[in-house]
Each structure stands twice: as C-alpha cells, then as structure tokens.
Amino acid sequence: MRYGNQVYTISQNGLTSTNFGSGILASSSDLQYLVSGTMLYKYSSSANSYAQFTTLTSYSSYFIKSSSNKIVVWGASAVPSGSKYTVDQTVYAILDNSGSANAFY
C-alpha cells in the first residue's frame, strides 16, 4: 500500500514501512516499480525492500506501466514559453533481466 512518501508491505515477518524522503513521483499499479528522485526502484520480495534499479533523467512527472519483465517509464516536464508550454520528455522501454536493467530509450 502506498501513502504519501511511504510504501507499506506485509509479509510473514510483519508490517514494513519504506520511506522515500524525496517523494514518490510514480509507481506501477502493483508497486513492484517506483520512481523517487531520478531513480527507478524495484521491490524484492526476498529482501522485503526496494533496491535501486536504474537511473532516469530528471523530470517533474513520471508514468510507469509494467507487465512481467517489461517496463515502460515516461518522464516529462512542461516549461512555459510565452502563452504556450514546451514539453520535454523521454520514454524508457526497460527489460528486467533478473534484476539488471536493459534500457532502450
């Protein structure tokens, strides 16, 4: 369960809370992956914790979609330019090879 900058997990050892002080910018629906700062984290059920998975470009907004070992992360920032906005964005297509990230972007 995600609440604010905290992710709570329940295991056979009890309730665990993980605090992401720089804030959680996005997470997959199953909380397997999340973005905090410029880092993509992956949850390890065996360690009952999140570990750094790969570094991302810094953006103000992120969106994550994952399925099996495939992850798509979209990062974007809107910058005002007169009466319009310019959007800077990157789409990451990442393959999770048993804990190592192969990113294509």
DSSP β-bridge partners for residue 102: 95
pLDDT over threshold 70, residue 103? no
CA atoms within 13 A on the CB side of 87: 8
Name the residue among 52, 32, 31 with its Cα closest to residue 41.
52
**Domain map (residue ranges) of the chain:** 2-104
20-78 pLDDT per residue, tens: 888 898 888 888 889 998 889 988 888 888 899 888 888 989 898 888 778 889 999 99
